[in-house]
Amino acid sequence: LCVQENYRNNPFHNFRHCFCVTQMMYGMIHLCKLWERMTTEDLGILLTAAVCHDLDHPGYNNTYQINARTELAIRYNDISPLENHHCAVAFQILSNPETNIFAYVDKDTFKRIRAGITMLILATDMARHAEIMESFKEKLAAGFDDKNKEHLDTLKMVLIKCCDISNEVRPMEVSEPWVDCLLEEYFNQSDREKIEGLPVAPFMDRDKVTKPTAQIGFIKFVLIPMFETVARVFTQIDEVMVQPLKNAKDRYEEMKSIEEAQKEAKKALSQNH
């Protein structure tokens, strides 16, 4: 309940998003039989990080925080201001005796758990996507070794990243409303950036982006490559996760073609009148 109270009512980054990410993590733990490769402590870290990964998200991303020189950007020296804040709020909750789920673990174990949760929440900053994926691919090329802490840490970072942006793995009737929520949050930010004279990212601009254009590139260049890389370790996700992503891409491409055809028809009609 305390965690839920510390999520704001943003269109996208709210408690429902945190719940979906945690549920996907639980699903991946079972689908990939992660208990065969990881300790109970590792699994606890994965689930706790998932629950806490967007705590007190203000609904405006890191780029906005940095460009607007917000209190968070100043506090964290422009380095992943949001993710650092999510971590800090998580450990404020855990420092309260009433909500400290790790109250009975010894100091050394808590130190490891804290480091693990922090590492995972910080890994959800998409600015680090290429760096984390590169590191994971290098470890796969060398031969993934789940007895190697560095290999396992990188895998855990990739897993939370997968869960964080996994909406398109779900059925269309579940995933599509989430795109509307995300675009609403983006448009709120870009409207504010225009008013404040700050740079506006094209993918957040209501005058430049549509639902299919927002999703096609993201699915094609971020989601599919990432999930395919994970499928090299866990082949079982190919059918359950990679295939639905490919289906989603096809549906959005179809949607884009229909939108373009409608636009052309409208144009032709207006020229005839």
Q: What is the mean pLDDT of each run of 10 residues along the chain (273 residues)?
A: 91 98 98 97 98 98 98 99 99 94 95 98 98 98 96 98 98 95 97 98 92 93 98 96 97 91 75 66
Task: Determine the residue type at 53.
Answer: H
pTM of this structure: 0.94
CB atoms near residue 230 (< 10 Å)? 22
d(CA 151, CA 213): 35
Task: Determine the residue type at 244.
Answer: P
d(CA 150, CA 108): 19
Q: How many domains does the chain have?
A: 1
Reduced to 3 states, what is the DSSP secondary structure of residue 65?
helix
- 102 among the known binding-site residues? no
What's the pLDDT at 100?
A: 94
- Contact between residue 58 and residue 11 where contact means Cβ atoms under 8 Å apart: no
- 85 among the known binding-site residues? no
13 labelled catalytic: yes
**Residue 183 is assigned to a structural domain of this protein:** yes
The token duo for 196 is 């404040």
Which one of 13, 57, 85, 151 is the catalytic residue?
13
The token duo for 122 is 């910080």
Q: What is the CATH number of the domain that holds 125?
A: 1.10.1300.10
What is the extent of the structural domain holding 41?
A: 1-215
**Residue 238 is assigned to a structural domain of this protein:** no
**Residue 139 is assigned to a structural domain of this protein:** yes
**Residue 237 is assigned to a structural domain of this protein:** no
**Residue 223 is assigned to a structural domain of this protein:** no
| Region at 99 (left for phi over 0; alpha for psi -120 to 50; beta for the rest) | alpha
- Contact between residue 98 and residue 3 where contact means Cβ atoms under 8 Å apart: no
**Distances from the Cα of 141 to the Cαs of 52, 57, 134, 138, 234, in angstroms?**
32, 36, 11, 5, 15
Task: Find tokens 């705590």 and name the residue.
Answer: 55
- 16 among the known binding-site residues? yes
What's the pLDDT at 267?
A: 72
**Residue 29 is assigned to a structural domain of this protein:** yes
**Residue 113 is assigned to a structural domain of this protein:** yes
- 14 among the known binding-site residues? yes
CA dihedral 15, 16, 17, 20 (to 10 degrees): 120
**Residue 269 is assigned to a structural domain of this protein:** no
Q: Please name the helix (run of DSSP H) or strand (run of DSSP E) that holds residue 120, with its range, or none.
A: helix 107-122
- Contact between residue 140 and residue 100 where contact means Cβ atoms under 8 Å apart: no
d(CA 238, CA 189): 35
Q: Please name the helix (run of DSSP H) or strand (run of DSSP E) that holds residue 181, with its range, or none.
A: helix 172-196
